[in-house]
Amino acid sequence: MKIEILSLIPGVFADVFDESILGAAKRSGLIDITIHNFRDFGEGRHKTVDDAPFGGGPGMLLKPGPLVSAIRNLRDSGPIAPVIGLTPQGVPLTQNMAKELACHERLILVCGRYEGFDERILPAFDVQISIGDYVLTGGEFAAMVIVDAVSRMIPGTVGCEASVKEDSFYDGALDHPQFTRPATWEKSSVPSVLLDGHHAKIIAWRRGEALARTAAKRPDHFRRLPLSQDDRGLLQTAFCPQSESNEIRRKIKV
């Protein structure tokens, strides 16, 4: 996948995509990321890209001319790609959106700065995305989040495909609790079901814990989960160490 990022401060992206899983995905050619400075399309001797808002108010806005020229230039320079505007007014990013975006051959991410975009820029975006209900100084960190979340949905980037399917939110539920060695640490022991090697029991235990944990921590997601008869049974016996399982059962009325 080719990912192109339009930004006024390309320097903040230095090295962030070069380590660990994203770095390996870049080196193996699964993803290719290019940062473009849209000040190259700025107006006049100072390469101006911003101006004060009509009607007054604090801060500066991105002017339509330079940014839209940069977007059109990039869009027409390669394979068809959704143009994604990064703004706190966009649709909140979800795991399903990350999965969907990972199916494209090319993505164009547009980072705003200052107080935002002149409204006439917005039609140049195919979609506007936000990464949460808080305001960042610009879209750059949001672009990094999107690149990370989308990249790991591309087959081959995360070492083990099965591990992606077990992620929190992959099927709408949070991940189950996980433990590694030692089996007992500071008087706290790993649930015995995980040590017995009975695969079917482990699968069932994990599913029950994942559901109980989702119910406790994210009731908004839990309400949307399609629950099978087996799931309801597992919830009855689930014990989630980070929460009170009786409280969970009371809340979700199983």
CA distance 147 to 125: 17
Catalytic residue status for 4: no
Q: Which of 167, 190, 173 is nearest to 227 (CA)?
A: 173
Residues pairing with 51 in the sheet: 61
Q: Which residue has the tokens 């990464």?
A: 131
Q: Is residue 42 at the binding interface for ligand 6GU, with CB under 6 A as the rule?
A: no
Catalytic residue status for 182: no
Q: Is residue 135 at the binding interface for ligand 6GU, with CB under 6 A as the rule?
A: yes
23, 132, 159, 219: which one binds ligand 6GU (CB under 6 A): 132
Catalytic residue status for 115: yes
**Nearer residue to ligand 6GU within complex by CB, 125 or 222:** 125
**Nearer residue to ligand 6GU within complex by CB, 129 or 150:** 129
Give the range of 14-22, 57-65, 85-93, 178-186 binding ligand 6GU by CB under 6 A.
85-93
State the nearest-atom distance from the C-beta of 211 to ligand 6GU, in Å. Answer: 29
Of 51, 64, 118, 152, the active-site residue reads 152
**111 CB neighbour count, 10 Å cutoff:** 27
Of 51, 75, 82, 115, the active-site residue reads 115
In the shown chain, the binding pattern of residues 91 to 120 toward ligand 6GU, with x for contact by CB under 6 A and - for none, equals ---------------------x--------
The DSSP secondary structure of the chain, one letter per residue, reads -EEEEEES-GGGGTTTTSSHHHHHHHHTTS-EEEEEEGGGG-BTTTTB-EEPPTT--SS-EE-HHHHHHHHHHHHTTSS---EEEEEEEEEEP-HHHHHHHTT-SEEEEEE--TT-B-GGGGGG-SEEEESSSS--SSSHHHHHHHHHHHHTTSTTSSS-HHHHHTSTTTTSSPPPP---S-SEETTEE--GGGTS--HHHHHHHHHHHHHHHHHHH-HHHHTTS---HHHHHHHHH---TTS-HHHHHHHHT-
Q: Is residue 124 at the binding interface for ligand 6GU, with CB under 6 A as the rule?
A: no
Total residues contacting ligand 6GU by CB under 6 A comes to 15
Catalytic residue status for 45: no
Q: Is residue 215 at the binding interface for ligand 6GU, with CB under 6 A as the rule?
A: no
Q: Is residue 86 at the binding interface for ligand 6GU, with CB under 6 A as the rule?
A: yes
Give the range of 123-131, 153-161, 190-198, 243-251 binding ligand 6GU by CB under 6 A.
123-131
Q: Is residue 142 at the binding interface for ligand 6GU, with CB under 6 A as the rule?
A: yes
Q: Is residue 7 at the binding interface for ligand 6GU, with CB under 6 A as the rule?
A: no
**Nearer residue to ligand 6GU within complex by CB, 4 or 209:** 4
CB distance 110 to 56 below 8 Å: no
Q: Which residues are catalytic?
A: 88, 115, 152, 167
Residues lying near ligand 6GU in the complex (CB under 6 A) are found at 86-88, 90, 112, 129-132, 134-136, 138-139, 142
